[in-house]
């Protein structure tokens, strides 16, 4: 059986989107592993499945390339909202989406999509942890998925794969692990970052929840104020707006349909 899909990207994060409301895909984990493999298949940072919801306009299921299901994805949900709008699956521009982390709402503004984020949880500042024989000051935050922030002076010199992996699997963050964001402050409204993404187990061009995590931790430490422009080292600009009490948080960025195609479930 042929599956119709759309390849989309936001901020450098790329995704395979499939309308699964008729449950064409039953083994979601196996499908994600097969389709997300680069060089051997379509290739992507994740598989996004659009499904029916009883409590929102639609439901989003998010699968990493290793087959694990993620609770939330900031860039992914913005791509899904644009996908819904492009496919004319709904007439209104404000769209509610159920995720494993609850209901989110997004609004289409041309090629930009603005998503209201949930307030962060479990903020822990200045964790002193020994990693690879060296002590680091790390900062933890949960934005639907766990993120750990490390501020650095030179992003180019960071061994994202090695250090990111060591922090990701540190016993402090077991059993679920953590995404790792390496952050450089540019000024009070701008920062740059590189991301080691859990589930991908490698550096990715961008991460929406990672961008939000980096900006909010930077704000909590008195380094930035809203709005914050977040520039991934290899991806496109994202912007975060928030109030002083972190009750109203919005993530905005461009979304792009790369191409459409068909593939076999057994590919």
Other CB atoms within a 10 A radius of the CB of residue 167 amount to 24
Q: What angle do helix axes 74-86 and 208-220 make, rounded to 10 degrees?
A: 130
Yes or no: say if 41 and 33 are a contact pair by the CB < 8 Å rule.
no
- Indicate whether 42 and 76 sit together in one domain: yes
The SS3 call for residue 197 is strand
Yes or no: say if 155 and 232 are a contact pair by the CB < 8 Å rule.
no
- Indicate whether 140 and 30 sit together in one domain: no
**127, HSE (Cβ side, Cα atoms, 13 Å):** 20
- Indicate whether 47 and 76 sit together in one domain: yes
- Indicate whether 58 and 129 sit together in one domain: no
- Indicate whether 179 and 151 sit together in one domain: yes
- Indicate whether 242 and 126 sit together in one domain: yes
Return the CATH number at 102.
3.10.310.10
Number of domains in the chain: 2
d(C-alpha 242, C-alpha 119), whole Å: 10
- Indicate whether 31 and 55 sit together in one domain: yes
For residue 127, give the H/E element and its range: strand 121-131
The pLDDT of residue 265 is 65
Token pair 């087959």 is found at 67
What backbone torsions phi and psi does residue 245 show, to the nearest 5 degrees?
-95, 0
The pLDDT of residue 23 is 82
- Indicate whether 131 and 242 sit together in one domain: yes
Residue (of 44, 38, 35) closest to 13 by Cα position: 44
- Indicate whether 148 and 110 sit together in one domain: no
The pLDDT of residue 96 is 97
Residues spanned by the domain of 81: 2-114+255-264
- Indicate whether 18 and 89 sit together in one domain: yes
- Indicate whether 47 and 143 sit together in one domain: no
For 119, which DSSP code? P
Residues of the chain whose pLDDT is less than 50?
Answer: 267
d(C-alpha 22, C-alpha 247), whole Å: 36
The pLDDT of residue 164 is 96
Yes or no: say if 215 and 225 are a contact pair by the CB < 8 Å rule.
no
71-98 tens-digit pLDDT: 999 999 999 999 999 999 998 889 999 9
d(C-alpha 10, C-alpha 25), whole Å: 24
Q: Output the six-digit token pair for 15.
A: 């995704």
- Indicate whether 176 and 239 sit together in one domain: yes
Catalytic residues: 73, 207
């Amino acid at each position: 059986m042929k599956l119709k899909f759309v390849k989309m990207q936001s901020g450098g994060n790329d995704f395979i989107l499939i309308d699964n409301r008729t449950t064409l895909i039953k083994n979601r984990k196996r499908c994600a592993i097969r389709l997300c493999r680069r060089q051997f298949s379509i290739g992507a940072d994740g598989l996004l499945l659009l499904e029916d919801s009883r409590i929102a306009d639609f439901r989003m299921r998010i699968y990493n390339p290793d087959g694990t299901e993620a609770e939330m994805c900031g860039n992914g949900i913005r791509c899904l909202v644009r996908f819904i709008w492009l496919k004319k699956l709904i007439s209104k521009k404000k769209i509610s989406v159920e995720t494993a982390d609850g209901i989110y709402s997004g609004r289409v503004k041309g090629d930009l999509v603005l998503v209201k984020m949930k307030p962060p949880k479990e903020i822990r500042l200045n964790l002193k942890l020994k990693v690879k024989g060296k002590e680091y000051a790390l900062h933890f935050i949960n934005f639907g998925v766990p993120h750990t922030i490390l501020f650095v002076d030179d992003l180019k010199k960071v061994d994202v794969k090695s250090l990111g992996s060591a922090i990701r699997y540190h016993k402090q963050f077991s059993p679920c692990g953590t995404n790792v964001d390496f952050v450089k402050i540019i000024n009070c409204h701008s920062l740059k970052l590189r991301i080691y993404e859990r589930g991908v187990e490698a550096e990715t061009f961008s991460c929406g929840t990672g961008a939000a995590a980096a900006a909010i931790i930077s704000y909590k430490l008195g380094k930035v104020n809203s709005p914050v422009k977040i520039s991934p080292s290899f991806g496109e600009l994202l912007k975060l707006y928030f109030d002083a009490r972190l009750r109203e948080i919005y993530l905005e960025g461009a979304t792009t349909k790369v191409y459409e195609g068909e593939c076999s479930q057994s590919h």
